[in-house]
Amino acid sequence: MGANLVARRMRLVSAKTATEQRTIEATPRKDFFISMLVRDIDVNAAIIDLIDNSVDGAIRCRKEKNFNGLWIRIEVVKDKFVIEDNCGGISFALARHYAFNFGRSPEARALGHSVGQFGVGMKRALFKLGTKFKIESAAANSRFTVEVNVHEWSKNNDDWTFRFNDDLETHTVIPADKRGTKITVTPLNPVVAEYFEDAEKINQLVREIGERHQISIERGIRITFNGILVEAQVAKLLFSEQLKPAYVMRVRPRRKKHSVVTYQIWVGLGRDEREDPQRAGWYVFCNGRMILRADQSRSTGWGEDDEIKLTIPKYHNQFKMFRGYVMFDSQDGSVLPWNTTKTGLDKESWIYPPVKLQMLTLMRPVIDFLNRVDKEENQPEIGEAGPLHKIIANADLLPLSEVKGSRRFVAPTISPPPSKMGVITYREPTETIDRVKKVLKVQKNREVGEKTFEYYLKQEVE
């Protein structure tokens, strides 16, 4: 062997080692992957994510979006969580190529108006809830079972597959009423088991399901939690001839750079029995699923300094009647502004910033009106009997679908008359007042004053 050849070989070898030296290991570890995924989601969001899967089934099998006759049942007993539906099931192909993949391939994106988007929801939810799960599904032409022991699965870092059980059927015919999916998780993670023992948390969960899936429930799907029927918390706004919410509907983009998104915005006033300030704010929906609830933060335009310029505290109780609803809809859900847990906005998406500008423009007149209402409230001689309060009291609370919105929020511009009212005060023994109260059938001293004055006015003056 000539010296030249040896030298050349040596160079080749060292070049190879150099390439190897320049390689950095970055393969994800399963246990890291799982722990990272579940940290970002809370139990409610995880369960609602599993409901998303069932709703997507409903969307697949009922293209016309009438969900009558479909149901989703959630049962939690001790250490076991079960969610079962009759929403058409997951087909063998869908399971094999999409449902169990982490992440969505580009060609899977356009799953008509679906709620599942990121290829992470169902798996993450199951990892969150427990350490073993079983998925049984029957679709039109297939039936399968997948069982996963998360501990076992996470041990082998080289194998990123799941296996169908032996009862797999791929060429069969299953009648429509037998199609559906059942997911069982047991044992549950200790924190999750504890969670389900807390009655208050379950109430909150049921309520949240009713809010976040209000549109699917309205379309006819029945969701039950341990036998309790989840009621839709339907979005409603005050409406009358004098008080009209703003409504805008747009289709975007105008240029064909992105998939088409339709969005609708309603802004106006709401009312609930408890006058709960926690209900005020913006509600955002993507493909029928509520992702943001009663938001009072900067991301929807409220602010400590800029945007709408509400003084700190950024949200004040005088705005407790404020309600704004934004509904995005697209065949291609990947363009909608949701985050992966569907509990917030992706503020950097192309569609959200321009929509937010419109939200700002539409909400400011409502804030102005509520400020005037507040001013009226703070005038003792007018108080809640003022003209603006009367207008609010006389308006009807209507579901969004029945609200005939106008392009801008319509409200009377009357300001409370500042100095035309006088105040009368006088003192009487409590005993006497109480006797008059009985006759007048009223509760408050103030009412005694008003009623007796009215009586005198009518009898002696007019």
Question: Which stretches of the chain bind another protein, using CB under 8 A?
Answer: 252-255, 305-309, 350-351, 353-354, 356-358, 360-362, 364-365, 367-368, 407-409, 413, 415, 418
* Closer by beta carbon to another protein, 206 or else 248: 248
Buried b (16+ CB within 10 A) or exposed e, 423-461: eeeeeeeeeeeeebbeeeeeeeeeebbebeeeeeeeeee
* Closer by beta carbon to another protein, 335 or else 403: 335
Residue 202: CA count within 13 A, CB half-sphere: 17
Check if the beta carbon of residue 316 is closer than 8 Å to that of residue 310: yes
* Closer by beta carbon to another protein, 71 or else 325: 325
CB of 355 to another protein, least distance (A): 8
Amino acid 188 reads: L
The residue count of the chain comes to 462
Structure token pair of residue 449 = 């004053």
CB of 370 to another protein, least distance (A): 11
* Closer by beta carbon to another protein, 40 or else 374: 374
* Closer by beta carbon to another protein, 92 or else 247: 247
CB of 404 to another protein, least distance (A): 18
C-beta atoms surrounding 231 within 10 Å: 13
* Closer by beta carbon to another protein, 192 or else 335: 335
CB of 247 to another protein, least distance (A): 14
Check if the beta carbon of residue 378 is closer than 8 Å to that of residue 388: no
Check if the beta carbon of residue 76 is closer than 8 Å to that of residue 209: no
| Cβ-based neighbours of 271, under 8 Å, separated by 6 or more | 238, 321, 392, 397
Order of strands, sheet of 246-252, starting from the edge strand that comes earlier in the sequence: 246-252, 261-269, 322-329, 281-286, 289-295
* Closer by beta carbon to another protein, 303 or else 333: 303
CB of 105 to another protein, least distance (A): 26
* Closer by beta carbon to another protein, 39 or else 347: 347
- Of 378, 259, 359, the closest CA to residue 316 belongs to 378
CB of 79 to another protein, least distance (A): 48
Check if the beta carbon of residue 85 is closer than 8 Å to that of residue 70: yes
CB of 394 to another protein, least distance (A): 22
CB of 417 to another protein, least distance (A): 8
